[in-house]
Amino acid sequence: MKNNYNSEFWKKFCDSIIESDGYKCSICGKESSKTILQAHHTKYIKGKNLKILILKKI
């Protein structure tokens, strides 16, 4: 299975999630200047590819 996490689509999607959270961690509130922010799935669906997960999330 191809790793879609390195795709330009995924990078733009993650950037949009981080921007929508005000460049802060949605759990602890740390700002991006103080930590490395990453986007993660809120729900994993076994056997589904990345594009389907993203389309369902949006």
Q: According to the 3-state scheme, what is the secondary structure of the chain?
A: CCCHHHCHHHHHHHHHHHHHCCCECCCCCCECCCCCCCCCCCCCCCCCCHHHHHHHHC
Predicted local distance difference test score (pLDDT) of residue 58: 39
12 or 5, which is more confident?
12
For residue 57, pLDDT beyond 50: no
31 contact partners, CB below 8 Å, separation of at least 6: 23, 24
Instruction: Render pLDDT for 6-55 as a digit per residue (tens, 0 to 9).
Output: 889 888 888 888 888 899 988 888 998 888 888 876 666 666 555 555 55
Please enumerate, as own/partner, the contacts of 45-50 that have beta carbons within 8 Å and a separation of 24 or more: 49/1, 49/4, 50/4, 50/5, 50/7, 50/10
For residue 56, pLDDT beyond 80: no
